[in-house]
Amino acid sequence: MKEKKEVLLTLRVDKALRDTFKSVVKANDDDVAKVLRRFMRQYIKENSQKGIGGLQ
* pLDDT at position 31: 97
List the one residue out of 32, 10, 12, 29 whose CA is nearest residue 21: 32
CB 48 within 8 A of CB 56: yes
Task: Name the domain count of the chain.
Answer: 1
- Asked if residue 41 belongs to a domain, the reply is yes
- Asked if residue 26 belongs to a domain, the reply is yes
- Asked if residue 27 belongs to a domain, the reply is yes
- Asked if residue 21 belongs to a domain, the reply is yes
- Asked if residue 37 belongs to a domain, the reply is yes
Q: Which residue range(s) make up the domain with 35? A: 15-47
User: What tens-digit pLDDT sequence spans the chain (56 residues)?
Assistant: 677 788 999 999 999 999 999 999 999 999 999 999 999 999 998 888 766 666 65
- Asked if residue 32 belongs to a domain, the reply is yes
- Asked if residue 9 belongs to a domain, the reply is no
